[in-house]
């Protein structure tokens, strides 16, 4: 497979924040923003791999600024790094007040997507190469972020084995 530049996977999504998208404070539900982030990351990864993809992990999503009803939300995503079957996708979310033009970054996230074949098995993806200074900056630290994700996944597996499906304080939970 021929390597591809990061910019080839660039995907942009805009949405108007409607009342049904907001909580009692008049700001975008965090879960709605996370769904937008996952969606744009999948589009970007699919564009890079030209294969179906699934979400393997979402690094922390830090809500940096509220998104208000009536604002727009613009999400930009591109593949920063590829490793055999997985791709790291960087997503930046920007809120804009269309009446004033004020724009603020409201969230950033890294999502790991895995390409799958017709049998839902992981399949190889092209390498990615950075071109801009920002892409190079993200690319330089990608392997370290990948190592941290592997360690976090190892801990998550240990926790799931330790706690299992029953409540930890009561093997015969009243909620079974």
Over the stretch 7-48, which tens digit does the pLDDT of each residue have?
Answer: 999 999 999 999 999 999 999 999 999 999 999 999 999 999
| CATH architecture, range 4-163 | Roll (3.10)
Q: Report the predicted TM-score, pTM, of the whole model to 2 decimal places.
A: 0.90
pLDDT tens-digit profile of 122-147?
999 999 999 999 999 999 999 999 99
pLDDT at 108: 96
32 vs 13: CA distance, rounded Å: 14
Q: What is the DSSP string of 30-89?
A: HHHHHHHHHHHHHHHHHHHHSSEEEEEEE---EE-S--BTT-EEEEEEEEEEEETTEEEE
* Domain range list for the chain: 4-163
Report the distance separating Cα 141 and Cα 134, nearest Å.
Answer: 12
* Nearest one of 10, 154, 12, 5 to 96, comparing CA atoms: 12
| Cα 3 from Cα 129, distance rounded (Å) | 7
pLDDT at 4 over 60: yes
In the chain the first and final C-alpha atoms are separated, in Å, by 49
């Amino acid at each position: 497979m021929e390597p591809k530049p990061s910019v080839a996977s660039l995907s942009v999504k805009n949405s108007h924040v409607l009342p049904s998208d907001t909580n009692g404070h008049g700001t975008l539900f965090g879960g709605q923003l996370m769904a937008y982030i996952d969606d744009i990351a999948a589009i970007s990864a699919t564009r890079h791999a030209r294969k179906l993809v699934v979400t393997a992990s979402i690094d922390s999503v830090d809500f940096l600024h509220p998104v208000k009803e009536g604002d727009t939300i613009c999400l930009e995503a591109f593949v920063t790094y590829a490793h055999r079957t997985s791709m790291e996708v960087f997503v930046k979310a920007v809120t804009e007040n269309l009446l004033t033009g004020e724009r603020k970054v409201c969230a950033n996230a890294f999502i790991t997507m895995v390409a799958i074949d017709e049998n839902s098995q992981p399949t190889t993806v092209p390498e990615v190469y950075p071109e801009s200074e920002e892409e190079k900056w993200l690319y330089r630290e990608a392997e370290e972020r990948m190592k941290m994700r592997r360690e976090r996944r190892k801990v998550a597996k240990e926790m799931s084995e330790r706690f299992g499906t029953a409540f930890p304080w009561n093997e015969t939970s009243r909620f079974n």
